[in-house]
Amino acid sequence: MTKRRQFLAALVAKAGAENVLTDPGDCLPYGLDNSGMQGLPVAVVFATSAAQVSHIVHLCRDHQIAIVPRGRGSGTSGGAVVLGDAIVLSSERMNRILEINRADRYCRVEPGVLNGDLQSALARHGFFWPPDPSSADYCTVGGNLAYNSAGPRAVKYGTPRENTLGLSVVIGNGNILECGVRTTKGVVGYDLTRLFVGSEGTLGFITAATLRITPLAKEKRSLRALYTSIEAATQAVTRIMGQPDTPCALEFMDATCVRLLREANPDLLPARTRAILIIDLDGSPAAVDAATDRVARYAKHEDLLRLNTARNQAESQQLWSARKALSPRLREIAPGKLNEDVVVPVSRLPDLIHGLDALAQRHALCIANFGHAGNGNIHVNLLYDPADASQSAAATRCLDDVLKLVLSLGGTLSGEHGVGTQKRDFIHRELGTDVLAAMRDIKYCLDPDNIMNPGKMLPENPA
Ligand SMILES: Cc1cc2nc3c(=O)[nH]c(=O)nc-3n(C[C@H](O)[C@H](O)[C@H](O)COP(=O)(O)OP(=O)(O)OC[C@H]3O[C@@H](n4cnc5c(N)ncnc54)[C@H](O)[C@@H]3O)c2cc1C
């Protein structure tokens, strides 16, 4: 028997034949994610318990086969893509909500629970889990934790890092770690929970999570401000974030986004619109009324074209319609798109948007900017035609300048999409040699044979 066959036979014995795929045709769909990259796993294993995962990790260590943890493959930076000889360890079948405990303000879930399913279950109890990526209906809590994924609500309620109390993780040496707490306070030991959140499957496979839950607000109100200048919108963001009524969403779209939307639907927005803010506020009805008035005052500017307030759910959906139409529109018009999700301090947003406009002109590229302005998190979309060699080269050069700009403004290279393979070779610019060396040491302690998602997040060559 060849070594590969021995490995597969042992895998079936440890995981159960019903939990293993080996036919290349069955395995292929598990080798890719939304980055567009594709690999072919040696096998796909469906995780069923921490003990089973531990056996698989030991086996993979013995055979020096890598493990790629996988939720639903909706990630955009290549974290779940198979590189080289690797099995995919899928959380698809570990999808139970184990407990919802309102009094203690937590729920316990397996990693394969879809974010949207968890929100529906919690809503029946009057609660929610704050992380709200727009892919909620088809991404898993495990993927959310591994990428620290979030959405508009992060501005008020935080990301998975602020909303995870504890984890069960099978680390790269095969040990099962139970870290964190089931209380809303706790200080004993190093905060391994926070270390695992955002570690992109490079340290271990999450088999369960204790998540902090929050009561749903009684009232929600949406405002939409249309401006005739970008400066007016970005200055309004800094004013709104500088006062005490924190919005539960503060979204921004620039002039290019407005133009592209109007080209598809001229009636969607007035012709003079150059920038849009969408602001959601939540709380008790009386508090929301007062906060809406105050925030509306901070949104004012001589370049404010129109300020709409939604009084009900239907009107709110109407105000959000331009924002929701944007991602499909960008996919429609651009054959090639480099989609960065950079973050700068909110006070530097005007400088970021101004700098991005200058880069678009210098590289003769169309750049569409939108995103979670309340966190300073902007999705910078470099639109180009990959069939045109000069445009592709311009996009690569422009990306380099975008990242330099972000770091020069005190920002960070990714707010929610993660590093994966796509940003791996850039992170040394942000972290520096000493921090990268410390990260390698931690990785070595927990995963001595480098079998957990190798080639992701950490650059191959420290230099
Ligand atoms: C249309 C669309 C909209 C999106 N909108 C948003 C958004 O608003 N905000 C946002 O942040 N992201 C967004 N994303 C990106 C993506 O949905 C998120 O990153 C999501 O958290 C990935 O979840 P997943 O289950 O698909 O994970 P995968 O893509 O399968 O995996 C993501 C990473 O997590 C690791 N991983 C998965 N499960 C485990 C586990 N159990 N243990 C350890 N590591 C694990 C993988 O190895 C990989 O590194 C969007 C994607 C799409 C396609």
Q: How far is CA 51 from the centre of its chain?
A: 29
Å from CA of 151 to ligand 1 middle: 12
Å from CA of 278 to ligand 1 middle: 25
Terminal-residue alpha carbon distance, the chain: 41
Decide: 46 in ligand 1 pocket, CB within 6 A: no
Decide: 75 in ligand 1 pocket, CB within 6 A: yes
Q: Is residue 259's pLDDT more than 90?
A: yes
Between CA 456 and CA 414 the distance in angstroms is 14
Q: Is residue 413's pLDDT more than 60?
A: yes
Tell me if 111 sits within 8 A of 209, measured CB to CB: yes
Tell me if 254 sits within 8 A of 369, measured CB to CB: yes
Check residue 426 and report its DSSP letter: G
Between CA 368 and CA 395 the distance in angstroms is 13
Decide: 90 in ligand 1 pocket, CB within 6 A: no
Å from CA of 294 to ligand 1 middle: 36
**Backbone torsions φ then ψ of 165, nearest 5 degrees:** -95, -35
What SS3 class is residue 7?
Answer: helix
Tell me if 74 sits within 8 A of 151, measured CB to CB: no
**Residue of 138, 139, 443 with the most ligand 1 atoms within 8 Å of its CB, for mutation:** 139
Q: What is the pLDDT of residues 226-238, one digit of tens each?
A: 999 999 999 999 9
What SS3 class is residue 252?
Answer: strand
Decide: 35 in ligand 1 pocket, CB within 6 A: no
Decide: 415 in ligand 1 pocket, CB within 6 A: no
Hey, CA dihedral for 293, 348, 301, 254, is it positive or negative? Answer: negative
Decide: 131 in ligand 1 pocket, CB within 6 A: no
The residue assigned the tokens 């309004």 is 236
Q: At a CB cut-off of 8 Å and minimum separation 6, what does 56 contact? A: 11, 14, 15, 45, 47, 67, 87, 89
Question: Containing H/E element for 215?
Answer: strand 214-215
Task: Identify any residues that bridge with 170 across adjacent strands, giving them in sequence order.
Answer: 176, 205
Which atom number of ligand 1 is nearest to the Cα of residue 91? 41
From the list 345, 325, 329, the residue with the least C-alpha distance to 337 is 329
Count CA atoms closer than 13 A to 145's CA, side-chain side.
Answer: 39
Indicate the Cα dihedral angle 251, 254, 260, 261, nearest 10°. Answer: 40
Q: In terms of C-beta density within 10 A (0-12 exposed, 13-18 middle, 19 or more buried), how is residue 112 classed?
A: buried
Check residue 414 and report its DSSP letter: B
From the list 85, 88, 81, the residue with the least C-alpha distance to 3 is 85
Q: What is the pLDDT of residues 294-344, one digit of tens each?
A: 999 999 999 999 999 998 889 999 889 888 888 888 878 877 888 899 999
Q: Is residue 462's pLDDT more than 70?
A: no
Decide: 135 in ligand 1 pocket, CB within 6 A: yes
Written in H, E and C, the secondary structure of 340-391 is EEEECCHHHHHHHHHHHHHHHHHCCCEEEEEEEHHHCEEEEEEEECCCCHHH
Decide: 160 in ligand 1 pocket, CB within 6 A: no
Decide: 151 in ligand 1 pocket, CB within 6 A: yes
The residue assigned the tokens 């929050």 is 214
Indicate the Cα dihedral angle 72, 78, 79, 81, nearest 10°. Answer: 70
Which atom number of ligand 1 is nearest to the Cα of residue 196? 43
From the list 147, 78, 139, 74, the residue with the least C-alpha distance to 112 is 139
Å from CA of 292 to ligand 1 middle: 33
Q: What is the pLDDT of residues 23-80, one digit of tens each?
A: 999 999 999 999 999 999 999 999 999 999 999 999 999 999 999 999 999 999 999 9
Report pLDDT for 223.
Answer: 97
Q: In terms of C-beta density within 10 A (0-12 exposed, 13-18 middle, 19 or more buried), how is residue 122 classed?
A: buried
Report pLDDT for 1.
Answer: 66
**Residue of 87, 114, 135 with the most ligand 1 atoms within 8 Å of its CB, for mutation:** 135
Q: What is the pLDDT of residues 189-248, one digit of tens each?
A: 999 999 999 999 999 999 999 999 999 999 999 999 999 999 999 999 999 999 999 999
Task: List Cα–Cα distances, 7 to 10, 64, 381, in angstroms.
Answer: 5, 10, 43
Question: Containing H/E element for 233?
Answer: helix 230-241
Decide: 76 in ligand 1 pocket, CB within 6 A: yes
Q: Is residue 463's pLDDT more than 60?
A: no
- Count how many residues are written for the chain: 463
Check residue 217 and report its DSSP letter: P
Tell me if 457 sits within 8 A of 75, measured CB to CB: no
| Atom 50, ligand 1: residue with shortest CA distance | 135
Between CA 37 and CA 31 the distance in angstroms is 8
The tokens for 375 are: 């966190």
Decide: 139 in ligand 1 pocket, CB within 6 A: yes
Å from CA of 79 to ligand 1 middle: 8
Question: Containing H/E element for 8?
Answer: helix 3-15
What pTM did the predictor assign?
A: 0.96
Decide: 196 in ligand 1 pocket, CB within 6 A: no
Report pLDDT for 325.
Answer: 86
